[in-house]
Amino acid sequence: MKIYKIKLLFILLLGTIITLPVNGQLTDSLARYLEVAGKNNPALNADFLTYKAALEKVPQAGAWPDPQLDMGFFLKPMDIVGGRQIADFTLMQMFPWFGTKKAAQTEATHMAKMAYEQFRETRDNLYLEVYTQWYILSTKVEQLNNNRENLQLLKQLEELAIRKSSSGGSMSSGMNNAAPGMSDVLRIQLEMIEIENNIESLMSNIAAEKAKFNALLNRPVEYEVIVPDSITKVAFIFDEGVSISEIENQNPMLIMFEQEELAFNAKSEMDKKMSYPMFGIGLQYMLIGESKTTTMNQGMTPEMNGMDMIMPMFSITLPIYRNKYKAQQKESRFMSQSAREKYNNTLNLLRSDLFKLKQQLDNAERKIKLYQKQEQLARVTYQLVVQEFVTAKSDLTKVIQVQRQLLDYQIRQAEAIAEYNTKVASIQKLRSFNSLNQ
């Protein structure tokens, strides 16, 4: 088990550096937050303590049965041949059948490894939650910046509309006598009010998402979370064969069922050994006092009068009621087969999840490319319609329509990137985050 502890420590250390950027790491970064979550999350710490507790069962399973000491004292010493018996002490040590302790230790070891794999599964689920929440936050921040950028575009458009209105005449005190083009200015201001409301709503959403993110790290909700100004698509190459192989070899749930099967196999062997006799070796010590009535006629010499007696002892259990032992062995075999079936079922589900995630990943990638092209075209179109608006070749309706399209494509692109990155993290979770190389 020492080797297993070293392996655990290595994996924990690996988990804190697998996401470090090549050129270094900021004080607050995704890699840093994953490390904090791994150290502070209560659910993860609970599973780790459960694993440590399971390790302590291994030496318990391999311990010898406690020796038994029986003591008896005579309130009135009893006359026997050779003296008067005062007390009787019996010490007995039982020994299970050969190999029983080893089988029990093997079972406890596999059970501890099951607890460790449950810890890994909890850790992977936590990491996936951190990744997902991080991408949600990054999306909200980028959408906030997109709205601010569009607000600046509207302000510029407002200035153009004001100049256009001023060139057409001066504004009078009454609305009925307003200068030509003033309605365009008001329509732009209405759009600006809506964008400002979007900005306030996004800032409120970001605060709520940060609180949820801090909860994963077991930190106060008011802690600041530093996220990038824009979300970028992570580099990822999908290899079906490699992914399936890594799932089979590294997924914690699969390994846990493998260990469960091995544990019940060991228990079946232990049950078989326990159906054999147990042996006991001991000593009986009789405390004998001198007897005044002892005579040479009784065949005892004076030297033997009052001599304590020591008698070696041997005992053996007789497991003659076989039904319970046979039932125990059948129970363990059935549970072992059950673990194997759970392994096969989980493997099928994981393979299905992998292909579903790959399909979702491809869809997200297509949407990213689509929205990138649409955003680029919308930017060019926006510049053209603004020029046409200034030269009175186009009205404000077209400008606002294109401006809304530009903002919509920017928002959808950020959401598509977040979806893609989340699916990548989900695929990596199936393979266990130990295999990350980003």
Structure tokens at 330: 């059948």
45-52, long-range: CB within 8 Å, 24+ apart, which pairs? 47/115, 47/118, 47/119, 47/122, 47/123, 48/119, 50/115, 50/118, 50/119, 51/8, 51/112, 51/115, 51/116, 51/118, 51/119
SS3 content of the chain, % helix, strand, coil (to 5): 70, 10, 20
pLDDT of residue 78: 76
* Positions of the chain with pLDDT under 70: 1-27, 82, 168-181, 292-304, 434-438
Residue 278: helix, strand or coil by DSSP?
coil
Q: Which amino acid is at 169?
A: G
pLDDT of residue 100: 94
Name the one residue in this structure whose structure tokens are 């018996």.
85
- The tens digit of pLDDT for each residue in 187-213 reads 999 999 999 999 999 999 999 999 999
pLDDT of residue 15: 45
Q: How is the chain split into domains, by residue range?
A: 2-40+96-157+206-278+317-435
Among candidate residues 207, 61, 94, 189, the one with its CA nearest the CA of residue 144: 207
Q: Residue 264, Cβ neighbours under 10 Å: how many?
A: 24
CA–CA dist 136, 207 (Å, integer): 12
CA–CA dist 305, 291 (Å, integer): 7
Which CATH number is associated with domain 2-40+96-157+206-278+317-435? 1.20.1600.10
pLDDT of residue 14: 42
- The tens digit of pLDDT for each residue in 139-171 reads 999 999 999 999 999 999 999 888 887 775 444
Task: List Cα–Cα distances, 430 to 342, 350, 355, 358, 433, in angstroms.
Answer: 17, 7, 11, 12, 8
CA–CA dist 93, 282 (Å, integer): 6
pLDDT of residue 168: 59
CA–CA dist 368, 345 (Å, integer): 35
CA–CA dist 189, 154 (Å, integer): 8
